[in-house]
Amino acid sequence: MAAGARKPWSTAERARAREILKTETYSVTADILNREFWQDAQIRTKLSVRGQVLHNHIDRPAEIQGDGPKEKTEFAEEGNYATAELKTLKNATTLNDLLEACEVDLDIWEVDKWVANKWPVTMKFGAKGDEEAVQIQQYQIKAWLIRKVPIKHEWPVVQPVKLSRPLTPRFKPARQGHPPTVLIIPDSQNGYWRDMRTGYLKPMHDRRAWDLVLQVAHRIKPDRIVLLGDMLDLSEWTDKFVKSPEFYFTTQVALKELFWWLTQLADTGAQIDYLEGNHENRLWRAIVKNMIAGYQLNPANQPDAPAAMSVENLLSLKDLGIQYHKPYPGAHIWLNDNLRVSHGDVARKRSGATVKEMLQDARNSEVAAHSHRLEMAGITVHPHKGPRTYVVYNLGTLARQEQGVVPSSGGRQNWQQGFGTGWYQIGGDHLFEIYPHPIYGGQIMYQGCLLKARQNLSQLAAEATGVAELVKHEVTE
């Protein structure tokens, strides 16, 4: 045998290792072998013992657990569908192997389709500098299942809201010699929790914040209003988390109240753009995933109308003269050649981190929401034609900030309420000026004036929607 070459395991060593492994771990087995077979001048380690097992030179009893290879099973159920998956180093290639490992009840489920795969995995065993490469087989079986007796899907009761008074959209031209003014409104998350004890509806949106936005809108009479998306929460339509019964049958009243706020904005005469956010996109996802036959259905006499089950139709945006931009995350508008507005698809935990990331690939200035934080940052780049400065803004939220009110992945949220106003050039150098306006507990300082929200907002909402359950004083409203 050449100098430095590894001496193979003898039959006696393998037999002894098999016996020891009945009660001991790899590490203990290696120590015992080194003591008993010291004359071979061959150091056995935990990894080399395991390599013999994985290389099928030693059959390790199945009842011995510890540092041996693990088998992984996964059974995921969602409504009338489920998936079962088995990953193992044992020779498993049949559907029965999978069904037994995942304990699938064939009285409840039937197999729609299944696949079996295997691939080689190379692992190194042995002491450092004296490793041995061992190739083993990894097996995977996966099946897609359908419930034999389907669960009835309960759809929220929703219908389009209608105007109770005539409204004639009238977009006024920008004032001669002045750049257009813009009011930018971030996520309001209009939606409700139902108190299961009293039946009252608790808003996720902050009516005080909405009221302050409305006061500013009627003060400045903007040329353009941009709704940044997530104006509806649509909690009962989500597939992101388990839906609590408190969310059920709250969509209709959320539509009615948001529609009332939108009619107040439309009365300013501004051009209004509504950008789809990830929460509005929940409605589309729910239909595509659960009722594909209802996707993009239109009235027979209105083939060009918005789909029956769409945000545009349910909020009667066409009647309000509001243009809806979709789909998320691509929906956006340009106020001028330098300033882009979108809902946004970046949200980081730390303050300032969202706009910092947005600046990494910036090629223009941007206004967004999504993170529910008030942030602003800028960057100056130096291309061939000279320095260029880009600024990005996050304008906060109109949702309530109290812990646990708006469904989210965290507890106490680092959110700030606010909105934005500004001016932008059309032509020339396409300059712009955007002002974020923080909201503090139902109050703002706007151009040196203290503005406070009205006190009877729950009553106003109840009158606007016809839902008496909204009439409940919330200390935090």
For the segment 413-456, what is each residue's pLDDT rounded down to a tens digit?
Answer: 889 999 999 999 998 889 999 999 999 999 999 999 999 998 88
Closest CA to 154 of 247, 241, 83: 247
The residue to which tokens 């107040």 are assigned: 264
User: Residue 144: pLDDT above 60?
Assistant: yes
**Are 184 and 341 a contacting pair, CB within 8 Å?**
yes
Closest CA to 226 of 276, 168, 189: 276
Which tokens belong to 299? 């009235």
Q: Is the CA virtual torsion 353, 354, 355, 360 positive or negative?
A: positive
User: Residue 308: pLDDT above 50?
Assistant: yes
> How far apart are the C-alpha atoms of 159 and 137, rounded to whole Å?
56
Mean pLDDT of 183-208: 90
Mean pLDDT of 2-23: 73
Q: 181-470: which CATH architecture? A: 4-Layer Sandwich (3.60)
> How far apart are the C-alpha atoms of 52 and 125, rounded to whole Å?
9
Looking at every residue in the chain, the average pLDDT score rounds to 83
The residue to which tokens 């899907």 are assigned: 153
Share of the chain above pLDDT 90, in %: 45
User: Residue 40: pLDDT above 70?
Assistant: no
The pLDDT tens digits for 246-304 are: 888 889 999 999 999 999 999 999 999 999 999 999 999 988 888 888 888 888 888 88
Give the start-to-end residue ranges of the domains of the chain.
12-54, 72-147, 181-470
The pLDDT tens digits for 79-121 are: 788 899 998 877 778 899 889 889 999 999 999 899 988 888 7
User: Residue 127: pLDDT above 50?
Assistant: no
**Is 444 strand, coil or helix?**
strand
Share of the chain above pLDDT 70, in %: 83
> How far apart are the C-alpha atoms of 5 and 308, rounded to whole Å?
76
Q: Which has the minimum average pLDDT: 288-292, 394-398, 472-476?
A: 472-476
> How far apart are the C-alpha atoms of 264 and 267, rounded to whole Å?
5
